[in-house]
Homo-oligomer: A and B are copies of this chain.
Amino acid sequence: MPENKKKFIAVIGGSDPTSKEAKAAEKVGRELARHGAILICGGLGGVMEAACRGAGAEGGTTIGILPGENRRAANPYVQIPIATSIGYARNAAVVKSAQAIIAIDGSYGTLTEIGYALQSGIPVIGLNTWAISRNGKQDSSIIPAESPSQAVEMALELAVD
Residues of A that sit less than 8 Å from B by CB: 2-4, 8, 38, 61, 63, 65, 69, 71-72, 74, 78-93, 96-97, 99, 105-112, 114-116, 118-120, 128-136, 161
Q: Are the C-beta atoms of B119 and A115 separated by less than 8 Å?
A: no
Q: Are the C-beta atoms of B108 and A115 separated by less than 8 Å?
A: yes
Q: Are the C-beta atoms of B133 and A130 separated by less than 8 Å?
A: yes
Copies of this polypeptide in the complex: 4
Q: A26 → chain B, closest Cβ, in Å?
A: 18
Q: Are the C-beta atoms of B2 and A79 separated by less than 8 Å?
A: yes
Q: A15 → chain B, closest Cβ, in Å?
A: 12
Q: A95 → chain B, closest Cβ, in Å?
A: 9
Could you list 14 A-B pairs, sorted by A, with CB under 8 Å?
A2-B79, A69-B87, A69-B88, A71-B96, A82-B82, A83-B96, A87-B92, A88-B92, A89-B91, A108-B119, A109-B115, A111-B111, A114-B115, A115-B115
